[in-house]
Amino acid sequence: MSDLLEDVQRELWAPAGIDQRDVEKLLERLSNRAINLGELFFQHQRAESWMLEDEIVKEGSFSVDRGVGVRAVSGEKTGFAYTEDINLNALRSATEAARSIARAGQNRQVAASQPVKADRMYPLGDPIDSLSEEAKVALLQRIDQAARAEDPRVKEVSVRLSASHETMLVVASDGTLGADMRPLVRMDVSVIVAHKGRRERGFAGGGGRSSLSRVADDDFALGLAKEAVRSALVNLEAAAAPAGAMTVVLGPGWPGVLLHEAVGHGLEGDFNRKGSSAFANRIGEQVASTLCTVVDDGSIHGRRGSLSLDDEGTVSQETVLIENGILRGYLQDKLNARLMNTQSTGNGRRQSYAHVPMPRMTNTFMRAGEHDPEEIIASVKKGIYAVNFGGGQVDITSGQFVFSATEAYLIENGRVTRPIKGATLIGSGPEVMTRISMVGNDLKLDEGVGVCGKDGQTIPVGVGQPTLKIDEVTVGGTQA
Amino acid sequence: MTDGKLAKDNPHSSIDLRESVLTLKNLVADILEEAVSQGASAAEVSASEDVGLSVTVRKGELETVEFNQDRGFGITVYFGQRKGSASTSDSSRSAIARTVRAAANIARYTQADSCNGLAEPELMPETLADLDLYHPWNTDAQAAEALALTCEAAGLNHDSRIVNSDGAQVSTQQSSRVYGNSHGFIGHYLGTRHGMSCMFIAEDENGMQRDHWYTTARDPSLLESPEAVGEEAGRRSVARLSPRKVPTGNFPVIFCPQMSAGLVGHFLAAVSGGSLYRKASFLLDSLGSAVMSHHLSLIEEPHLPKQIGSAGFDGDGVATWDKTFVSNGVVANYVLSSYSARRLGMETTGNAGGVFNVTLKGNEKPFAELLGTMGEGFYVTELMGQGVNGVTGDYSRDASGFWVENGELAYPVDGLTIASNLKDMLQDIQWLGDDLDSRGNVRTPSVLVGTMTVASN
């Protein structure tokens, strides 16, 4: 990693004439009060996006954002300030503001910096430069043409291509010296279809931490166009959804948003330290059916939620949250881990230098089970098969969660029959997890479109699961 | 806490954004000049500066102190009818040239769109009225902490079933906005926004529930007292304890003012230019049609003094004016920017970037009578999830609140969904309450919708 570290220092420090000694002085200044952790987070991010609509590439935008976040943690208290100017004066001023949180206290030793060694989970290069402008424009046009060629009922197509590259460097009084370069790319295709007075939307998207070649590949890109059209056409035929409690089978992949909402957020360390989660103080207890093993894993190559190291410089890992139904662990950042007498799990993440880190998910999924997906559907006499979702939300205190199906079908006598309109599925996380009665052998991770929001901060995440059968979920249709 | 040094350490307390307005305006002028010198046929620039402080306490102790200070600008350049945009948080001289170059480079590859371009110059305001939006709060982290502690204590002492706190927060923000374009228009406005909020967790033998309350205003003297905010948050958390379920069926539904603002938001999204020209709306070709109950009107008043949504010009630099979006149930205006207006062959409504102080009006009665009129049904105080399809109007969301029996609030309920179609819901708004919530940009009272499908397990 030493080459990467040097490159990052050259990019973030050298233009401002900052060196290791300057940063150590700032950390010493941060640490001469009753402070457990002093931290400087340097970041530089470039982002670009292109948008096609009305058959032309009509918009493009490019942005550069850079700055430094300075944090002082004292017990449960956090002082935080940031600056968009990377220079010593601005850093000193932010340092003074951040340290004002703590009482005067004994001077703590700043640990000698130890470069963090982490396996690289993605290529380092800037994806914006991995494809020429001409090729980007041509790619969007190919997708547009493919979507329109797919079916005459396609009336509108919009396509967005986004790429960004983040360079980060975190230095902390506990000796952390971590650097990373993180590419992120994404393609979104949205279509409107109309037929006989009905109108519906379809969507497909995907991406990850890679160069643009991943989304520029024709199989992938034109596949998104096909998928967006297919899902829109299904909804053109959809009938009103039923209302009330019923058996629900969830398809593999993106429906794993269930886990993200029903258990993921409730297992974040801050909520459990504060006792505000429905899962607080339940480690070792049965919180899901014995078929369920749920993990969070930032160390999967190239995934949207992956990180080589987190924003606090902790190396990414696989964390088992629920094992055979038993609650095993929480997702931790440094602050919450220290207060709960445990170690960070590499889940300290922040939207940017201008935001404080919190325990957040990376890629959260359920491990595969034993059942053939067809066998699962065949076991349902009457129910719903939901294969795609818009998104979800959870109240971590009551455990009540919601997620909204965008593609779903009725199951009648063990067979998938008619499509039904997108309906909201709701339940209590702890209750629903105990009602999972079959787990498929078809684990799939999502295509790479997840965005997670918490306390006003958004970050990219991944989800996944095999086909699942849940014995009773409330379906919010209109057919009472 | 505290050691008395906070105020001195606070980089925010001494800042007055009035002093940097001229700098920001000069920056915008410089960027426009750079764009023209790089060959752009037209350009527009938005620049902003924000500074603020936010203090959170939890369980009687200081938890976080966050100082924010943001600057940035974004530019759109036009080369004929091709355009490109770029933005940065770096306002150094070299960054200006670099950013304009990045936007110009994008414009080399985008394709001509005959609707592109600035708004017509005669639409820019000649003078800008003072909307009285800038009221800096002469406070510091210590004083904010004291207020937050008072707020939290008022809630914690409200009821012994309040077992935990998710914290009380006090924040103050100042912002400065400048928009300029190559017609020669440069407009600016300064604003402040202050707030106090808190959230509690109540618990009984049937589990935990949480709720919150907040106050927000441009002028700190208009904030509710910390005691009132804390007590209301506490009262709301306790009221939700031991929720019950109800059988699945069709019932009337009252949306509390905070939730009915969401309904109006769905309407506004459906009549906004972007949804209309993309044909992604359940209200296509609705201008002049009755889409709401005949007693309802939706008015926009961009120039109200001290209001959150007030502004003298929109995101295109177009002067804003009072108008109605809905008059006696009929769509009177769409919500249009100059681009979306051109796409639809219409005129801009001065709504680039959104609406400004929208209020729902109609037949109203006191809230107690609203419950009486409903008889039995669902009073919704919270909604979760994204189950709103803007193309079809299909609506299905998670809801919690209170069950109403014999015209009175009977008991809390949760784990319910409410479903219908927005087209039907808007036509079926029978009454409004007299409890208008004017804190936000979309100002609504409670609304009574005649019937929706309520589902539970």
pLDDT value for B18:
86
Query: What number is the average pLDDT over the span A36-48?
Result: 96
Identity of residue A233: L
pLDDT value for A105:
66
> Are β-strands A363-366 and A457-465 bridged in parallel, bridged antiparallel, or unpaired?
parallel
pLDDT tens per residue across span B104-116: 999 999 999 999 9
The yes-or-no verdict on residue A244 having pLDDT over 70 is yes
Write out chain A residues lying below 8 Å of B111, CB-based: 56-58, 137
Q: What percent of chain B has pLDDT over 70?
A: 97
Residues of chain A by 3-state class (helix, strand, coil), percent to 5: 25, 40, 35
The yes-or-no verdict on residue B439 having pLDDT over 70 is yes
pLDDT tens per residue across span A407-462: 999 999 999 999 998 789 999 988 999 999 999 999 999 999 999 999 999 999 99
Phi, psi of A399 (to 5 degrees): 85, -5
Cα torsion B265, B271, B275, B281: sign: positive
Q: Is the ipTM of this complex over 0.95?
A: no
Our CA dihedral for B305, B311, B313, B316, rounded to 10 degrees, sits at: -170
- A303 Cα to chain B: minimum distance (Å): 25
- A118 Cα to chain B: minimum distance (Å): 30
Alpha helix (H) residue ranges in A245-390? 257-259, 269-273, 334-339, 373-378
- B44 Cα to chain A: minimum distance (Å): 14
- For A35-44, b/e burial (b = at least 16 CB within 10 A) is bbbbbbbbbb
pLDDT value for B14:
58
Whether A477 and B396 lie within 8 Å, measured CB to CB: yes
Phi, psi of A361 (to 5 degrees): -75, 160
Nearest to A97 among B9, B63, B417 (CB): B9
Number of CB atoms found within 10 A of residue B108's CB: 12
Whether A64 and B88 lie within 8 Å, measured CB to CB: yes
The yes-or-no verdict on residue A1 having pLDDT over 80 is no
Give the containing element (helix H, strand E) for A321: strand A318-323
pLDDT tens per residue across span A44-74: 999 999 999 999 999 999 999 999 999 999 9
> Are β-strands B377-384 and B330-331 bridged in parallel, bridged antiparallel, or unpaired?
unpaired
Query: What number is the average pLDDT over the span A289-305?
Result: 98
Write out chain B residues lying below 8 Å of A136, CB-based: 109
Q: What percent of chain A has pLDDT over 90?
A: 88
**Residue of A59, A270, A355 best to disrupt the B interface, most CBs of B under 10 A:** A59
Query: CB of A479 within 8 Å of any CB in chain B?
Result: yes
d(CA B29, CA B91): 13
d(CA A113, CA A171): 8
pLDDT value for B352:
98
Closest CA relative to residue A297, chosen from A338, A240, A259: A259
Query: What number is the average pLDDT over the span B206-215?
Result: 95
Quickly tell me which residue has 């459990």 as its tokens: A272
Query: What number is the average pLDDT over the span A328-354?
Result: 97
Phi, psi of A58 (to 5 degrees): -100, -15
Whether B201 and A83 lie within 8 Å, measured CB to CB: no
Describe the crossing of helices A133-150 and A218-236 by its angle, rounded to 10 degrees: 30
Whether A391 and B386 lie within 8 Å, measured CB to CB: yes
Question: What does each C-alpha distance from B317 to B21, B25, B348 come to in angstroms?
Answer: 17, 14, 11
Mean pLDDT of chain A: 94
Tokens representing B154 are 């008022």
Nearest to A78 among B64, B98, B421 (CB): B64
The yes-or-no verdict on residue B13 having pLDDT over 60 is no
Phi, psi of B24 (to 5 degrees): -70, -40
Identity of residue B29: A
Nearest to A192 among B3, B109, B391 (CB): B391
Question: What does each C-alpha distance from A299 to A177, A314, A360, A444 come to in angstroms?
Answer: 19, 12, 14, 16
Query: Domain-by-domain residue ranges, chain B?
Result: 6-237, 244-457
The yes-or-no verdict on residue B10 having pLDDT over 50 is no
pLDDT value for B172:
97
* Angle at alpha carbon of residue B358, lines to B352 and B363, rounded to 5°: 150
Closest CA relative to residue A386, chosen from A251, A245, A203, A188: A251
pLDDT value for A31:
83
Task: Return the residue of A nearest to B457 by Cα.
Answer: A245
**Residue of A395, A396, A403, A421 best to disrupt the B interface, most CBs of B under 10 A:** A395
The yes-or-no verdict on residue B11 having pLDDT over 60 is no
For chain A, list the domains and their CATH numbers.
2-236 (3.30.2290.10), 243-476 (no CATH)
Whether A64 and B65 lie within 8 Å, measured CB to CB: no
Homologous superfamily in CATH for domain B6-237: PmbA/TldD superfamily (3.30.2290.10)
pLDDT value for B7:
35
Query: What number is the average pLDDT over the span B169-194?
Result: 96
pLDDT value for A371:
98
Nearest to A404 among B278, B284, B387 (CB): B387
Query: What number is the average pLDDT over the span A170-198?
Result: 96
d(CA B78, CA B85): 9
Task: Label residue B326 by pLDDT band (50, 70, 90).
Answer: very high
Whether A400 and B400 lie within 8 Å, measured CB to CB: yes
- A21 Cα to chain B: minimum distance (Å): 24
The yes-or-no verdict on residue B324 having pLDDT over 70 is yes
Q: What pTM does this model have? A: 0.94
Strand partners of residue A42: A68, A169
Closest CA relative to residue B182, chosen from B350, B353, B45: B45
A59's CB contacts (< 8 A; 6+ apart) are A50, A51, A53, B83, B85, B110
pLDDT value for B5:
31
Name the 3-class secondary structure at B145.
helix
Tokens representing B243 are 């929720």
d(CA A251, CA A274): 34
Phi, psi of A239 (to 5 degrees): -100, 165
d(CA A222, CA A142): 8
Strand ranges (E), B135-292: 162-181, 186-204, 207-217, 249-255
Mean pLDDT of chain B: 94
Write out chain A residues lying below 8 Å of B67, CB-based: 80-82, 94, 97-98
Tokens representing B377 are 């049904």
- B398 Cα to chain A: minimum distance (Å): 6
d(CA A144, CA A53): 8
Query: What number is the average pLDDT over the span B410-432?
Result: 97
- For B216-249, b/e burial (b = at least 16 CB within 10 A) is bbbbbeebbebeebbbbbbbbbbbbbebeebebe
Identity of residue A154: V
Question: What does each C-alpha distance from B94 to A134, A437, B36 come to in angstroms?
Answer: 27, 62, 16
- B195 Cα to chain A: minimum distance (Å): 16
What count of CB pairs under 8 Å joins A to B? 279
Query: What number is the average pLDDT over the span A279-292?
Result: 95
Query: CB of A435 within 8 Å of any CB in chain B?
Result: no
Write out chain B residues lying below 8 Å of A126, CB-based: none
Strand partners of residue B442: B358
d(CA A59, CA B170): 39
Cα A71 to the center of its chain, rounded Å: 23
pLDDT value for B2:
29
pLDDT tens per residue across span A118-174: 999 999 999 999 999 999 999 999 999 999 999 999 999 999 999 999 999 999 999
The yes-or-no verdict on residue B6 having pLDDT over 50 is no
Query: CB of A281 within 8 Å of any CB in chain B?
Result: no
Task: Return the residue of A nearest to B95 by Cα.
Answer: A64
Tokens representing A92 are 């000193």
Identity of residue B341: A
Write out chain B residues lying below 8 Å of A480, CB-based: 248-250, 453-455
Query: CB of A1 within 8 Å of any CB in chain B?
Result: no
Task: Label residue A104 by pLDDT band (50, 70, 90).
Answer: low
Write out chain A residues lying below 8 Å of B116, CB-based: 58
Task: Return the residue of A nearest to B397 by Cα.
Answer: A424
Nearest to B455 among A84, A156, A244 (CB): A244
d(CA B124, CA B118): 11
